[in-house]
Amino acid sequence: MTPMRWALAATVLFVSVAGARESEWYESPEGVAREFVAALDHLDLERILSTQAEDATMFFPHPSASFRAEGLAAIRARMSDAFEQALALARKGGRTTPPYLGLPDPVSVKVQSISETAAVVTWMFDRPQGFGRRTAVMRRATDGWRMVSFHSSNLPAR
């Protein structure tokens, strides 16, 4: 194979793999949950919103957010404020590039299939400041799985 053909083959392979990686997360409820956590760790609001259904609801784990955010606009508003604060703290602590939060990988991920178009995903993680529990209700639409409800709670460190 000539060098030009090798370059072309490598380019096609790279584009195929890169394209597949970007589209895989929404093909399963667990993929959506993991994409959500990765986007949160990177403080990437647009990535987080891409995991949400238009009519999504969200409960946040902070006392200052004791309300349910209803719809993408409310989720964006609440997370935008929180991300600005988190990014400032991360930079103050020396984290100038993502991941900013240093979230651990989700553990004990469990997917409970309700139907062909509905599932519940739960996961946990342990951090020095406490133990986190997360629950997401997912719905499959024509464009893949999305979160329709997300609830997060934290327990103090043991």
Is pLDDT above 60 for 5? no
Strand locations in the chain, DSSP E? 52-59, 68-70, 107-115, 118-127, 130-141, 144-156
Q: How confident is the model at residue 130 (pLDDT cuts 50, 70, 90)?
A: confident
Cross-sheet strand order for the sheet of 52-59? 68-70, 52-59, 144-156, 130-141, 118-127, 107-115
Is pLDDT above 50 for 86? yes
Is pLDDT above 80 for 137? yes
The class (CATH top level) of 28-156 is: alpha beta
What are the sequence ranges of the domains in the chain?
Answer: 28-156
